[in-house]
A and B are shown apart, each in its own frame.
Chain A
Amino acid sequence: MSRDRVNPLDYSRKTWMRLCMGFTFVFLYFPIVSLIAFSFNDSKRNITWQGFTLYYYEKAFANAQLHEAFLNSLIIAATSTTVSTILGAMLGLSLYRFRFPAQGPYEGMVHLPIVIPEICMAVAMVAFFATVNMPLGLATITVSHIAFSIPFVAVVIRARMAGFDHALEEASYDLGASQWQTFWNITFPYMKPGLLAGALLAFTLSLDDFVITFFTSGPGSTTFPIKIYSMVRFSVTPEVNAASTVLIVLTLALTMVALFVQSRSQGNQHG
């Protein structure tokens, strides 16, 4: 009995490739796994493992300030997701649909917030709010989040629409539907997975944003990441780990729901 020969393209069966993959996984996930593990650590200083407890989860859940921060984060994320998904979708759609003068430069400008450093955007935002005399608080954070989420949604929608057969819209129009009917009956169903992906992206971007939020927040508008940061500055207790773990679980659950919905609707879409 001889061993199966390894085909030239069977990379997953090559030892060095497996080692690389294993190393990558460890590198990516070890910090997260240890974070979760130490959230159950029965030790105030959280440096060595002392034993299993759920005490810090109870403590985190009972922490009113943490509650408030989490609620703030949710309000901001929900609002900015809704607004930026609608605006971003419209932007992505018009970039796909229309040809207009200076479209290239315009498209570049639209995508700029994705590449410019967050710190620059944060400073710009603060400067802007100062000029228009807008007091820093939940509203300014939300506006900033909308601003940096729009391009991400637009890019996702644009990419989704690249595979769209324009003849579908023409066919609908030809069959007697108005432009409005055509959009809701034909274009929108096709956009849906992109909308969902874009919204999810906007939501997670908003939920865990630190730099821009830090600059644009005011008194009483502490968000979850900022609250955790201030807790860490005192000491890294298992309570911080517990709060972070909750956030991780929440994000994972949301992502899984989104992927599930997307895969189902994609199964229906593809011809």
Chain B
Amino acid sequence: MVDNNTIISIRDVVKRFGSTVVAVNDVSLEIKQGEFFALLGPSGCGKTTLLRMLAGFESPTEGQILIDGEHMEGVEPNKRPVNMVFQSYAVFPHMTVHQNVAYGLKVTGTPKSEIDDRVRESLSLVQLEAMAARKPDQLSGGQRQRVALARALVKKPKVLLLDEPLSALDAKLREQMQIELVHLQKSVGITFVIVTHDQNEALSMADRIAVMEQGDVLQVAPPSELYEYPNCRFVADFIGKMNLFDGTVAGIKDGKVLIRVDEFADQLSNLVLPHNEHAKGEVGIAVRPEKIRLDENEPEDQQVRLKVKVTEVVYYGDESHLFLESTGGARFAANLKNEARDTHAEIVSGKELWVSWRPEDTLVLSS
């Protein structure tokens, strides 16, 4: 069943190259109309292949892709209601900005009067009206990217596909473009599907994110859910930073789960955590660095607390990242906000501290 809200429906799609390489392994996804959707994963996870299948440059070995309710099998890229922004931007070097944006309308026989209006409208959307007569080699990287955006948007596609659109920009510009892309998407109301390996990019821009690894989609969720409730070790580790430990469920008592972690055992016989359905047998125990509280004296009020030694301090200005090790061999990463000018000076390697965190901030991941 296709509900009216679904614009892209990927059903049991498998893509094999040759007989051995499986790029996309039985993926099913529904992308909603007007959504900013991100495919996130390390390089070689199949995210770009999936995007290219949506654009029509690759065809699925098995399974189906529906765009706006229509089967895309055998539909050539030039006949699909989607447009793509390429990683290299692929702005035509021998055409002016105006000609670039007009190209997609010209080749499909749009009347001349209409072309000019739509090109102007599209260029104003990306604030490039003043550059219409320029050639791509007279533009900066960010401006070329805007041309690529305007060129795709002028076609009024049902879905805009973006392949690592920000990877070639420097850090400052990238952050600015992230914000602009989100504004642009909300103002035109077109569904965006973006491929990225940068988790910050995905978290800050997307409405929903699909995390892929080795051809599989591991989790599809909104950014905050993905960050706070990852469903497996890979997602927990890939998104943000994570302190991960191996644990064993020791028992259940008064609706609480008791988990034994070998590295904590010398100080803490069992972690007592709220009930969790994953808590069976061998589990992964995870806690985010920023959830860890640091104290110089033993925090008596905290149930989960461990005495640790600072092994390394990495100074970032606003924060310092501390690497800590307990007597039982548990290694932690924790963040220290440099709230006062001399905060960082007090924390040096070898200093003894206490780490603690709230039991409900602990993630239990099934292994």
Taking a contact as CB atoms under 8 Å apart, the answer to whether B84 and A268 are in contact is: no
Chain A 235-269 interface mask (CB, 8 Å, partner B; 1/0): 00000000000000000000000000000000011
Tell whether A62 is near chain B: CB-to-CB under 8 Å: no
Taking a contact as CB atoms under 8 Å apart, the answer to whether A167 and B87 are in contact is: yes
Interface residues of A in 128-178 (CB under 8 A from B): 165, 167-168, 170-178
Closest partner residue, chain B, to A267 (CB atom): B137
Q: Which listed residue (A170, A175, A178, A190) contacts B104, Cβ 8 A? A: A175
Q: Which listed residue (B82, B90, B94) contacts A167, Cβ 8 A? A: B90
Tell whether A186 is near chain B: CB-to-CB under 8 Å: yes
Taking a contact as CB atoms under 8 Å apart, the answer to whether A268 and B135 are in contact is: yes
* A-side contacts of B84, CB under 8 Å: 170-171, 174
* A-side contacts of B57, CB under 8 Å: 170, 174
Taking a contact as CB atoms under 8 Å apart, the answer to whether B135 and A175 are in contact is: no
Tell whether A270 is near chain B: CB-to-CB under 8 Å: yes
Tell whether A24 is near chain B: CB-to-CB under 8 Å: no
Closest partner residue, chain A, to B144 (CB atom): A271
Tell whether B155 is near chain A: CB-to-CB under 8 Å: yes
Known: A174-B55, A176-B155. A271 touches B137 (CB 8 A): yes
Q: Give the distance in Å from the alpha carbon of A165 to the alpha carbon of B144 in the complex.
A: 15
- Number of residues from B at the complex interface, CB < 8 A: 30
Interface residues of A in 176-203 (CB under 8 A from B): 176-178, 181, 185-186, 189-190
Pick from B78, B82, B137 the residue with the most CB of A within 10 Å: B78
Taking a contact as CB atoms under 8 Å apart, the answer to whether B103 and A168 are in contact is: no
* B-side contacts of A175, CB under 8 Å: 78, 83, 103-104, 107, 151-152, 155
Q: Give the distance in Å from the alpha carbon of A175 to the alpha carbon of B84 in the complex.
A: 8
Taking a contact as CB atoms under 8 Å apart, the answer to whether B78 and A173 are in contact is: yes
> Separation in Å of the A127 CB from the closest CB of chain B?
44
Q: Which listed residue (A178, A186, A189, A271) contacts B78, Cβ 8 A? A: A178
Interface residues of B in 26-72 (CB under 8 A from A): 55-57
* B-side contacts of A270, CB under 8 Å: 93, 137
Taking a contact as CB atoms under 8 Å apart, the answer to whether A172 and B103 are in contact is: yes
Taking a contact as CB atoms under 8 Å apart, the answer to whether B136 and A271 are in contact is: yes
Q: Give the distance in Å from the alpha carbon of A88 to the alpha carbon of B78 in the complex.
A: 29
Q: Give the distance in Å from the alpha carbon of A170 to the alpha carbon of B84 in the complex.
A: 9
Q: Which listed residue (B83, B94, B144) contacts A190, Cβ 8 A? A: B94
Chain A 6-31 interface mask (CB, 8 Å, partner B; 1/0): 00000000000000000000000000
Q: Give the distance in Å from the alpha carbon of A216 to the alpha carbon of B148 in the complex.
A: 55
* B-side contacts of A173, CB under 8 Å: 76-78
Chain B 85-111 interface mask (CB, 8 Å, partner A; 1/0): 011101111100000000110011000
Known: A175-B151, A190-B94. A185 touches B103 (CB 8 A): yes
* B-side contacts of A167, CB under 8 Å: 86-88, 90
> Separation in Å of the B87 CB from the closest CB of chain A?
7
Q: Give the distance in Å from the alpha carbon of A171 to the alpha carbon of B91 in the complex.
A: 8
Taking a contact as CB atoms under 8 Å apart, the answer to whether A171 and B90 are in contact is: yes
Taking a contact as CB atoms under 8 Å apart, the answer to whether B55 and A181 are in contact is: no
* A-side contacts of B83, CB under 8 Å: 174-175
> Separation in Å of the A31 CB from the closest CB of chain B?
42
* B-side contacts of A178, CB under 8 Å: 78, 107
Closest partner residue, chain A, to B80 (CB atom): A174
* A-side contacts of B151, CB under 8 Å: 171, 175
* B-side contacts of A185, CB under 8 Å: 103, 107
Q: Which listed residue (B88, B92, B104, B155) contacts A186, Cβ 8 A? A: B92
Closest partner residue, chain B, to A177 (CB atom): B107
Q: Which listed residue (A165, A170, A174, A268) contacts B94, Cβ 8 A? A: A268
* B-side contacts of A186, CB under 8 Å: 92
Taking a contact as CB atoms under 8 Å apart, the answer to whether A176 and B94 are in contact is: no
Q: Give the distance in Å from the alpha carbon of A173 to the alpha carbon of B152 in the complex.
A: 12
> Separation in Å of the B252 CB from the closest CB of chain A?
56
Closest partner residue, chain A, to B136 (CB atom): A271
Known: A170-B86, A271-B137. A176 touches B92 (CB 8 A): no
> Separation in Å of the B10 CB from the closest CB of chain A?
19
> Separation in Å of the B280 CB from the closest CB of chain A?
48
Q: Give the distance in Å from the alpha carbon of A171 to the alpha carbon of B145 in the complex.
A: 13
Q: Give the distance in Å from the alpha carbon of A19 to the alpha carbon of B329 in the complex.
A: 72
Q: Give the distance in Å from the alpha carbon of A175 to the alpha carbon of B77 in the complex.
A: 8
Name 20 extra pairs, CB < 8 A, besides A165-B88, A167-B86, A270-B93: A168-B90, A170-B84, A171-B148, A172-B92, A174-B56, A174-B78, A174-B83, A175-B78, A175-B83, A175-B151, A176-B104, A176-B155, A177-B78, A177-B103, A268-B93, A268-B135, A269-B93, A271-B93, A271-B136, A271-B137
Can you list 24 A-B pairs with a CB-CB distance of less than 8 A? A168-B90, A168-B93, A170-B57, A170-B77, A170-B90, A171-B84, A171-B92, A172-B107, A173-B77, A174-B55, A174-B56, A174-B57, A174-B82, A175-B103, A175-B104, A175-B152, A175-B155, A177-B104, A178-B78, A181-B107, A185-B103, A186-B92, A270-B93, A271-B136
Closest 7 CB pairs of A and B: A175-B104, A171-B90, A167-B90, A177-B107, A176-B108, A271-B137, A167-B86
A residues in contact (CB < 8 Å) with B: 165, 167-168, 170-178, 181, 185-186, 189-190, 268-271
